[in-house]
Amino acid sequence: MNNSIQTVDELKRTANELRKRILFTAHYKKQGHVGGSLSCADILTVLFFNQLAIDPSNPKWEDRDRFVLSKGHTALGLYGILSLRGYIPEEELKTFDQYESRLQAHPDMTRLDALDMSTGSLGQGLSTAVGMALGAKRLKKDFHVYCLIGDGESQEGQIWEAANIAEKYNLDNLIVVMDQNGLQQYGWKNETDRMPPEQKAKRKFNSFGFETWEVDGHSIADLVQVLTVAKKSSNGLPKAIIANTVKGKGISFMEHNYNWHSKAPNDEEYRMALTELEGGFD
pTM given for the model: 0.95
Residue of 159, 179, 175 whose CA lies nearest to 238: 175
pLDDT tens, residue order, the chain (282 aa): 655 788 999 999 999 999 999 999 999 999 999 999 999 999 999 999 999 999 999 999 999 999 999 999 999 999 999 999 999 999 999 999 999 999 999 999 999 999 999 999 999 999 999 999 999 999 999 999 999 999 999 999 999 999 999 999 999 999 999 999 988 887 765 666 666 778 789 999 999 999 999 999 999 999 999 999 999 999 999 999 999 999 999 999 999 988 899 999 999 999 999 999 987 654
E strands, the chain, are 66-69, 145-150, 174-180, 211-216, 239-244
In a domain, 49, yes or no: yes
User: In terms of residue numbers, what domain contains 156?
Assistant: 8-279
> Residue 79 in contact with residue 88, Cβ under 8 Å?
yes
- Cα 46 off chain centre by: 10
Measure the CA–CA gap between 46 and 180, rounded to whole angstroms: 16
Measure the CA–CA gap between 146 and 81, rounded to whole angstroms: 15
Measure the CA–CA gap between 91 and 184, rounded to whole angstroms: 30
Measure the CA–CA gap between 160 and 207, rounded to whole angstroms: 10
Domain count for the chain = 1
In a domain, 3, yes or no: no
> Residue 247 in contact with residue 258, Cβ under 8 Å?
yes
174-180, strands of its sheet edge to edge:
66-69, 145-150, 174-180, 239-244, 211-216
User: Which CATH number do you get for residue 53?
Assistant: 3.40.50.970
E strands, 90-191, are 145-150, 174-180
User: Reduced to 3 states, what is the DSSP secondary structure of residue 37?
Assistant: helix
In a domain, 1, yes or no: no
Beta bridge partners of 149: 178
